[in-house]
Structure 1
Amino acid sequence: MNPTNATSGNDELEAAVSHLWREYEQAPFPAGLRGAERADIDLVLLDADIAGCVSTWLSRGGSLDDWRRGVLHRRITDLDRILPVLGAMDDAPYWQRLHRLSCLVSGVDPRPTK
């Protein structure tokens, strides 16, 4: 692979993550979900764990340590469990954006979410 293409791919990844991150920062945490659980997963902690990892990834120029990568992998699994059970008032697009961010930052191929 041409090194220029690799750099371009990294730039595109960082741009995609930055765009989703700005959307995330502008969106309020879904109303009524503080202290709520879905599929036995605390939604505030899920949100905070992912936000911390994505913020670290951005501040480190697209790099994550193994521990945070592991956190993201576990949280992607959690998101895969909660997305199908979200109700009408749970703001599914908020959680789908977190799923996409987690997958991009951790290097996991995102599966389509419903």
Structure 2
Amino acid sequence: MIANMSESELERLSRMWKEHMRAPFPPRMRGREIEGEDMVLLDSYIAGGVVSSLSGPLDGKRREILLVCLAAIEKVLPSIDDDDGASEYYKHLRDMAALAVELGNANAR
């Protein structure tokens, strides 16, 4: 286990990641920009940060990317309806990114 990380938080992030990997990407979000944010790239950047967080402490660059992504996802969420689960998909991404940052903050203490 990574020093200073609560095992339960790390397990929670791991469970959330597994859930995310089983969820299909919302097809209507492919190639779509909302509020100037590329929805595929947003998914990709958060996924990279989460995987990094599961592998060890986040470096400053990955932590900053996740923080930028959190701000972006908060900006776009109100514009996403949930007819096909897209809103829930991106809320789940947001929650994973927030937990990964939180784990990184705990590790930095």
* Deviation, structure 1 residue 87: 2.2
Which structure carries more helix by proportion?
A: 2
**In structure 2, what is the equivalent of residue 81 of structure 1?**
75
Q: Which runs of 5+ in 1 are unaligned?
A: 1-5, 109-114
Q: Which amino acid aligns with 1:100?
A: D
The question of whether the paired residues in 1 share the 8 Å contact of 2:82 and 2:88 is answered with no
Match of 1:11 among 7, 24, 31: 7
- Residues 15-72 of structure 1: per-residue CA shift (max 9 Å, x gap): 1101110010011111121110111100000000000111111122xx1000000000
**In structure 1, what is the equivalent of residue 44 of structure 2?**
48
Q: What is the TM-score normalised by the length of structure 1?
A: 0.81
* Deviation, structure 1 residue 107: 1.5
**In structure 2, what is the equivalent of residue 37 of structure 1?**
33
**In structure 1, what is the equivalent of residue 107 of structure 2?**
none
Larger Rg over CA atoms: 1
Q: Which runs of 5+ in 2 are unaligned?
A: 104-109
After the TM superposition, which parts of structure 1 deviate over 3 Å for at least 4 consecutive aligned residues? none
* Deviation, structure 1 residue 89: 3.8
**In structure 1, what is the equivalent of residue 24 of structure 2?**
28
Does structure 1 residue 58 correspond to structure 2 residue 70? no
Report the count of equivalent residues: 100
- Residues 61-89 of structure 1: per-residue CA shift (max 9 Å, x gap): xx100000000000000011011111234
What fraction of aligned residue pairs are identical, expressed as a percent?
33
Q: What is the TM-score normalised by the length of structure 2?
A: 0.84
